[in-house]
Structure 1
């Protein structure tokens, strides 16, 4: 399957040269642009200089500002200081980790070790090897352990962030209405879509994952800064099939460990781009492999596992709404907004109500209890 066309124009050599001149690590050095990322939410290019390699990323200012990128960079620096293989963010001559110029914001990152085995595959491609699932689970556990003493508040509101405010609310529909109302472009686009009744129907059919909170909440439900976009193409791999590098913290903010684990399963275990090929047993094995790797470092109680499985059918809804807001509010792309709403938000949830989706959840529940 072909990679999705980027939404933003590629970074040109002239543009890159002007930006690189503002960073001491690259200023005045000859460079070549070796590879342009195909990902749709920002423009990124690998920059090669005589001393090494950088990744230059460019965002539209309405998508990422210095204020919304600063917490992401602080989180990455925290993880790096605790030994995790995440990118180091370079600073400008003025000591800033973000360069703002007109309609654009730029960040310059050092590479991380490992082979980019999923570089030419669509995001959310399932694991190429069975052994990658437990390796990814163990790496996610290491990230959560390292994040426990990162005390920053949740990221400021901006599009394309994996937040977690609707499902854990006492009244998820009220929380969904508040989420939509705070985003005028999203609210306007949804106005004639019958969105409240459709979302309420999903809550009724699939249950609200945070309903009836336990008397003793698990530590893994506590607020925690998390990656929120854990899938194979955001991981780099060592020769022994362990995770050597972790990239793309663009969706990171404060959620919880259980939310992040459920998101990882939802994005890693199910072939969303080719659902006709989905084998519920194989999907469950991938999910159980990821869980096994996670449990090798962080204990998961029976209640934790039940909560993760309950979260799965709806864990994507907040980011899906954020995608709609991005496509309609920033790109004014009606077609992509409809895909995010119909195929992603509604379609993913409805799959869990299908025979295949129910079989997957059943196999996952049975395997988790074994």
Structure 2
């Protein structure tokens, strides 16, 4: 392997704030992609590298070949190994078999969906149909229309219906997976202790923090609200990163529908309400604007449209609406810890590690005590009255 090729080029990627930063990971090169595609016979002969992904946690690019366009994604081995990617690809292939439009996962000559070379793990997908309308949108960018929100809600409901008969166990412990094993428990603190012990980087970061006291003060009051509804959290494999930029659209208009669902990197066995709460957290609340001191950073029109679309195809009961409202302040917490493990243990960014713990783990939950946060929760809970 030409190790030098990994140190040549870095691209601008989305930072943790609303800024572009130099990517943590070296950009994929044409020569590297050509080597990767030798393992994937149906991918054809590489012709031209046409785009680099700005996503921060891995390196990705689109390559035009003699037979198709492919999306090649490279992870550091400390983030994803072949077994970890195979869990995700199993879910994608199940959804595909149930008629859900997802990108095709290509297989190597020996039938694997990923392979490791040196300290990198690679996966290759066929570029899916649809317009990448939100390609350059940073995290927590809202939908550009209520129709997009409504269509995204319907697409999420269809995914959940298709996932109901997928019985794979939850993913193994690995960083950057949006699991739901702490606040889904009647007593979250022992579960939190176990979670921290599984990730040495988190334990190391928190050794000088009063994480128990901070969790009790900020997160457990919300967990108390969720406690009566834990029986509504039926285990289900879910997407866990339902953002407009992970969807391809039928056209460029504000009336476009969802054509393809992308990026199952955070998927795991959580529950439908966790996934729906994540969709609200990702698309309705402009967290980066809130961090910058902006008010009016919540979009109730988009919330209503997305929930209406979801309810149309997968109706929620009164108790489920109340459970969704109770779950929302906690929905980012466990993934914030996964990000902490990544930033402290893999990229070793003190700034981003602090952001993951203080702004995401504690801060996002604390915001729901604000007037805007309370109004948003009330708006969701009000749906319980309608049944």
Instruction: Please classify the TM superposition score into its range, dividing by the shorter chain length.
Output: over 0.9
1:263 is matched with 278
Structure 2 unaligned runs (5+)? 1-17
Q: 1-side partners of 2:141 and 2:295: how far apart?
A: 12
2:377 is matched with 361
Q: 2-side partners of 1:287 and 1:245: how far apart?
A: 21
Matches within 5 A, 1:154-303: 154-208=170-224, 210-213=226-229, 217-218=231-232, 221-239=233-251, 240-275=255-290, 276-279=293-296, 283-303=299-319
CA deviation map 1:154-179 (0-9, x unaligned): 11110000101111112111111111
Structure 1 unaligned runs (5+)? none
CA deviation map 1:317-370 (0-9, x unaligned): 000000000111111221111111111111111111112212222233335645
1:63 is matched with 79
2:93 is matched with 77
Give the alignment's TM-score, normalised by structure 2.
Answer: 0.90
Q: Kindly indicate whether the alpha-carbon contact (under 8 Å) linking 1:284 and 1:364 is maintained by their aligned counterparts in 2.
A: no
CA deviation map 1:170-191 (0-9, x unaligned): 2111111111111111101111
CA deviation map 1:61-108 (0-9, x unaligned): 111001111111111001011111101111111221102101001001
Q: Kindly indicate whether the alpha-carbon contact (under 8 Å) linking 2:325 and 2:378 is maintained by their aligned counterparts in 1.
A: no
Alignment partner of 1:22 is 2:39: yes
Q: Kindly indicate whether the alpha-carbon contact (under 8 Å) linking 2:324 and 2:380 is maintained by their aligned counterparts in 1.
A: no
Q: 2-side partners of 1:329 and 1:3: how far apart?
A: 22
Give, in angstroms, the shift of residue 208 of structure 1.
3.6
1:330 is matched with 346
CA RMSD in angstroms, aligned pairs only: 1.6
Equivalent pairs counted in the alignment come to 364
In structure 2, the CA distance between the partners of 1:209 and 1:183, relative to structure 1 (3 Å rule), is farther
Q: Kindly indicate whether the alpha-carbon contact (under 8 Å) linking 2:150 and 2:307 is maintained by their aligned counterparts in 1.
A: yes
In structure 2, the CA distance between the partners of 1:114 and 1:3, relative to structure 1 (3 Å rule), is farther
Describe the SS at the equivalent of 2:219. helix
Give the alignment's TM-score, normalised by structure 1.
Answer: 0.94
Q: 1-side partners of 2:239 and 2:312: how far apart?
A: 19
In structure 2, the CA distance between the partners of 1:50 and 1:141, relative to structure 1 (3 Å rule), is same
Q: 1-side partners of 2:137 and 2:228: how far apart?
A: 40
Describe the SS at the equivalent of 1:212. helix
